[in-house]
Amino acid sequence: MSSPSSWIRNLTPITESLLAGVVGLVIGAFIMLAFGYNPLAAYRSLFVGSVGSVYSWAELFANATPLILTALTFAIAMRGGLFNIGAEGQLYMGALAAVSVSLLHLPAPFNWIVAILAAMVAGMIWSLPVALLKLGRGVHEVISTIMFNWIAHFFAFYLIANVLTDPQRGERTIAVSESARLTRVFPDATLSSGLFISLVTVGVIFFLLWRTSTGFEIRSVGYNPHASHYAGISIRKQVLRVFLIGGAIAGLAGAIVVMGRPPYYAVLSGLPQLVNLGFDGIGVAMIGRNHPIGIVFAAIFFGGLMTGGRIMQFDPGVPFELVRVIQGIIILALAIPELRRLFFLARERLAGRK
Amino acid sequence: MELTHLWGILFISLHAMVPITLAAIGETIEESAGLFNIGLEGILLFGALAGALGAQASGSALVGLLTGMGVGALIGLVFGTISTSLRGSQLISGVGINLLALGFVALMLSVMGAPGFHSVAREVQVPLIPLGVGNLSPLVPITVAIAIGVWWLLRRTQLGIWIRAVGENPAAADVAGIRVNRVRLGAAVAAGVLAGLAGAYLSIDWFGAVTKEITAGRGFIALAIVVFSGLNPLLALLGGFIFGFFDGLATWVATYPGIKDIIPWQFVAMMPYVVTLAVVAGMIGRVRFPSALGVPYLRE
């Protein structure tokens, strides 16, 4: 049996994520070959399209911004031993709450702060029943969060078509008032100051998890609920905390998308700018090993795939959906803890055959 | 309300019952053996695409259903292998299957030149049974038969005892000479076959088309029904009918003139999901799941 050198062993989680990424890209290349596309041309276009210019970097970070937040929602729950896949619905609610604040016509310094707070509260409200159903009735969060995602989906459709509708344009909501919009970092790029809000949130969650007693209790329950219970930690309190914090962050993600993404600054019918950001966040969290810093890098990777995927669609003409296939394969590869061992075993066998 | 409306709601309910129930019965086999697969939604989606392609390539609906089952078996095999001999995380691989399905089906639809929507010709759809009061899909009686068959399999056969043993106490089952991972792998493939059939039913029977959103959370509703049923396939059938009824009612209300003006369609569309939550919340507590559910078995 092969024994990887010790420095690799210390970097296990990082090598596992990198290896899964390589597996995803390689299998993705074979799928492209099977469909008659040139994988080298596609990957070159994807790479250049995502990191080839200042503009593409800005686009990449704009795509990564909400993913960092929805990934944090999933990661903090995983740290607490919970499988929260409800960021998707909480994100819709956050975006719509942020838009609705513009109906109040608040004075300039307050309106964006109130919009962000409203979005966080909306996310928490959407997350609270999940925690209560789990604590009161023992309903598994995988089931309840998915049901709430679908309820949010149709509720959002209702709000867009009937309550927050733009009087001139029926297919979208009213726009976020100009003074509540997040500042654009470059004049022509979509990147907004929302990135900094995301990064600050990363710092806050990192601090919370590893530098406070709350974080210690959350991680301790995730690691061993029975031992934590006997140590006097209230598991019920941690479950509530994890879902409420997660809901607030997912709501914030929705606010940042709608307040920071030109040109409409409104929620469009069918939610095209929001759909899947919550689910993509799950993938980002898994690749980032549920660690705030890892999540930033994983979100940059996913942001790059999304940005470059759009370019790849034009140049060699490979459909954007291939990016999602690659993401799925990466997650499947990540699920296999043996992957790294299998990889070294295969390498040894190949070396032995020479 | 006229009698024809009642028949209409009954038929829609029965048709809506089929995919949820088939997926739930598959998951019941799998969870009895100790595997928790949240990738059902993805298998349904793969099955829907495979069913449509198989039916069109062969010109036969039966081949379409078999293709859906075959592809479902393949995904079940991938999930089962990761969850048993590769000792992987069941939740993560389930998420991976869902993501992969979403991407792959969208990719295929896009390659076939119909981004987002691909309709299946009527000639290769499953022929319905005319019953005078309405047309019924043959999959409805087949689903009922499968529910009874799987109940019998799990409760009355040696294989059923093996399946439940590896879910309840894999170490003891191993000592008793049962190949734990092999039984679990078999259960995962069986679940894949049933979910694949459910997916093919969606595309070449019920809707007559493939879309990216065709599954609409049905894989997750099936998970909820497994909870409702307490791993009893006959109760899964009942649960499937209840949810089918609300699904059918939603479809009916959304098109019925007097009602659609009073209740916005979006609220009607939420109904199956709200009912799922309410029923699951009401059921839990009396239901007991296998002790080793979701835990990979490592021989010591």
Does residue B300 fall inside a structural domain? no
Q: Report residue A74 as tokens.
A: 């999933």
Residue A331: which of B96, B264, B267 has the nearest Cβ? B96
Alpha-carbon distances, residue A26 vs A33, A43, A164, A333, A335 (angstroms): 11, 11, 45, 12, 17
- Helix ranges, chain A (H): 6-10, 12-34, 39-51, 54-79, 87-101, 108-137, 141-158, 194-211, 213-223, 225-230, 235-260, 277-287, 292-314, 321-334, 339-353
Q: Which residues contact A108 (CB under 8 A, 6 or more apart)?
A: A179
B112 — phi, psi (to 5°)? -75, 5
- Please indicate whether, in this complex, the C-beta atoms of A336 and B88 are within 8 angstroms of each other: yes
Q: Report residue B95 as tokens.
A: 């998420």
Does residue B296 fall inside a structural domain? no
**Contact call for residues A229 and A235 (beta carbons, < 8 A):** yes
H or E element in which residue A172 lies: none
How many Å apart are CA A257 and CA A194, to the nearest integer?
8
- Strand positions, DSSP E, B131-222: 135-136, 209-211
- In angstroms, the separation between the Cα of residue A107 and the nearest Cα of chain B is 34
Peptide bond into A225 cis (omega under 30): no
CA angle in degrees (0–180, nearest 5) for B143-B147-B153: 135
**Contact call for residues B79 and B97 (beta carbons, < 8 A):** yes
How many Å apart are CA B119 and CA B204, to the nearest integer?
9
- As a whole number, mean pLDDT of residues B11-33 equals 95
- Please indicate whether, in this complex, the C-beta atoms of A142 and B220 are within 8 angstroms of each other: yes
The amino acid at residue B161 is I
Q: Is B271 on the interface with A (CB under 8 A)?
A: no
Q: Which residues contact B122 (CB under 8 A, 6 or more apart)?
A: B208
Q: Which residues contact B94 (CB under 8 A, 6 or more apart)?
A: B36, B37, B38, B39, B40, B42, B79
Task: Count the alpha carbons within 13 Å of A96 in the hemisphere toward its beta carbon.
Answer: 28
Residue A332 DSSP symbol: H
Does residue B3 fall inside a structural domain? no
How many Å apart are CA B112 and CA B9, to the nearest integer?
35
Alpha-carbon distances, residue A317 vs A38, A47, B111 (angstroms): 10, 15, 10
How far is C-alpha A59 from the geometric centre of its chain's CA atoms? 16
Closest CA to A249 of A299, A205, A297, A192: A205
Residue A315 DSSP symbol: T
Neighbours of B297 (CB within 10 A): 18
How many Å apart are CA B24 and CA B237, to the nearest integer?
9
Residue B300 pLDDT class (50, 70, 90 cuts): low
Residue B257 pLDDT class (50, 70, 90 cuts): confident
pLDDT of residue A6: 55
Q: What is the pLDDT of residues A73-111, one digit of tens each?
A: 999 999 999 999 999 999 999 999 999 998 888 887 788
Torsion angle in degrees (nearest 10) through CA of A234, A236, A238, A242: 180
pTM above 0.95, yes or no: no
Q: How many residues does chain A have?
A: 354
Q: Which residues contact A129 (CB under 8 A, 6 or more apart)?
A: A144, A148
Residue B126 DSSP symbol: P
Q: What is the pLDDT of residues B258-291, one digit of tens each?
A: 776 788 888 888 988 998 898 888 876 566 778 8
B85 — phi, psi (to 5°)? -70, -30
Q: Calculate the average pLDDT of chain B.
A: 90
How many Å apart are CA A84 and CA A131, to the nearest integer?
10
Instruction: List, in order of start, the domains of chain A with CATH numbers.
Output: 14-37+318-343 (no CATH), 57-315 (1.10.3470)
pLDDT of residue A9: 54
- In angstroms, the separation between the Cα of residue B226 and the nearest Cα of chain A is 11
- Looking at chain B from residue 181 to 220, which residues have their Cβ under 8 Å from any Cβ of chain A? 216-217, 220
How many Å apart are CA A305 and CA A324, to the nearest integer?
9
Does residue B199 fall inside a structural domain? yes
pLDDT of residue B285: 58
- Please indicate whether, in this complex, the C-beta atoms of B99 and A35 are within 8 angstroms of each other: no
Proportion of chain B above pLDDT 90, given as a percent: 62
Domains contained in chain B, number: 1
CA angle in degrees (0–180, nearest 5) for A44-A50-A52: 75
Q: Is B121 on the interface with A (CB under 8 A)?
A: no
Residue B273: which of A85, A150, A330 has the nearest Cβ? A150
Looking at residue B166, which CATH number applies to its domain?
A: 1.10.3470
- Please indicate whether, in this complex, the C-beta atoms of A321 and B110 are within 8 angstroms of each other: yes
Orientation angle between helical segments B61-83 and B90-111, nearest 10 degrees: 140
- Looking at chain B from residue 46 to 75, which residues have their Cβ under 8 Å from any Cβ of chain A? none
B211 — phi, psi (to 5°)? -130, 165
Residues of chain A with pLDDT below 70 are 1-10, 340, 352-354
* Nearest C-alpha in A relative to B79: A332
- As a whole number, mean pLDDT of residues B36-46 equals 96
How many Å apart are CA A82 and CA B197, to the nearest integer?
31
**Contact call for residues A258 and A277 (beta carbons, < 8 A):** no
Neighbours of B188 (CB within 10 A): 28
Size of interface A-B (CB pairs under 8 A): 144
Q: Report residue B278 as tokens.
A: 């309410």
B118 — phi, psi (to 5°)? -140, 115
Give me the domain span that covers residue B227.
8-283
Q: Which residues contact A17 (CB under 8 A, 6 or more apart)?
A: A287, A288, A289, A294, A298, A334
How many Å apart are CA B49 and CA A263, to the nearest integer?
35
- In angstroms, the separation between the Cα of residue A316 and the nearest Cα of chain B is 14
